[in-house]
Amino acid sequence: MEQKKEKNKYSVIVPTYNERLNIALIVYLIFKHLRDVDFEIIVVDDGSPDGTQEVVKQLQKLYGEDRILLRPRPKKLGLGTAYIHGLKHASGNFVVIMDADLSHHPKYLPSFIKKQLETGASIVTGTRYVKGGGVHGWNLMRKLTSRGANVLAQTLLWPGVSDLTGSFRLYRKSVLEDVISSCVSKGYVFQMEMIVRASRKGYHIEEVPITFVDRVFGSSKLGGSEIVEYLKGLAYLLVTT
């Protein structure tokens, strides 16, 4: 596939919407933690009204337009298509997807890359549910729903990974292109669909522990409608994968 194994390039796709401060912080932290690696950051901004794109342009001046790519879209068009959009502009042979809100810390990127190099995996996914991983800022109810959802999914789907809805992942580019084209779900069911489909297709998936810090306490609360969406997603995956 590639000319040389050592010549890996990583494209970090970060979808944003109103993340003018966070995108600057995350770019700084990515550059801080990925020192001896060839990489690019692709910011897919969905027409944020808060000036996210202006900040990205300032960052481009600082770090170089070849390192930070701004690939905006006119309006909010959803997470799945944001990855497809970013993917079109990715020049790396590996793609990292992560959230812009700093719940995913760039300091884990080296462990994703190391794990991939050690195992030759097609996908390395971050998991919050093992030793060395964890969450911060979740109340008991949030933890309970998270555990319940996880046990349900593990029992019904046998996915082979411990954290289905996490969205901090490293993909071989060709694998991401293959998997993403068959995914139709939205929201975090989309993350689950991606990993379940990849697992069914027989791709080699490895896990690394990550921590997940909710900075705005309780911001990722789960309401009744999310639970219904989740159950519908589970049923959908049961009959289609």
Partner 1 sequence: MKHVLKIFSLLVAISGLWIGLLQASIIPRSHTWLLPIYFIVSLGCYGLLMVGVGLMGFPTCPQEALLLQQDIAEAKYFLKQRGVDVDSE
Cβ pair 76, 46 in contact under 8 A: yes
The shares of helix, strand and coil residues in the chain, as percent rounded to the nearest 5, are 45, 20, 35
Q: Which residue has the tokens 């003018």?
A: 20
3-state secondary structure of 215: coil
Type and span of the H or E element at 96: strand 94-97
Q: What is the Cβ-side half-sphere exposure of residue 181, based on CA atoms within 13 angstroms? A: 6
Strands 169-172 and 123-127: antiparallel
Residues 123-162 that bind partner 1 (CB under 8 A): 128-138, 143-144, 147-148, 150-152, 154-158
What is the C-alpha separation between 111 and 45, in angstroms, rounded? 27
Is residue 241 a contact residue for partner 1 (CB under 8 A)? yes
Of residues 158 through 197, those in contact with partner 1 by CB under 8 A are 158
Per CB under 8 A, 28 contacts partner 1: yes
Distance of closest approach, residue 71 Cβ to partner 1, in angstroms: 19
Which stretch, 72-80, 170-178, 183-191, 231-239, contacts partner 1 (CB under 8 A)?
A: 231-239
Asked if 62 touches partner 1 (CB under 8 A), the answer is yes
User: From the CB of 172, what's the least distance to partner 1, in Å?
Assistant: 24
- Does residue number 55 form part of the binding site for partner 1 (CB under 8 A)? yes
Q: What is each CA distance from 103 to 85, 93, 114, 135, 211, in whole angstroms? A: 22, 25, 21, 9, 8
Nearer to partner 1, 228 or 235 (CB): 235
Residues that bind partner 1 (CB under 8 A): 20-21, 24-25, 28-29, 32, 50-51, 54-55, 58-59, 61-62, 102, 105, 107, 128-138, 143-144, 147-148, 150-152, 154-158, 200, 211, 213, 215, 237-241
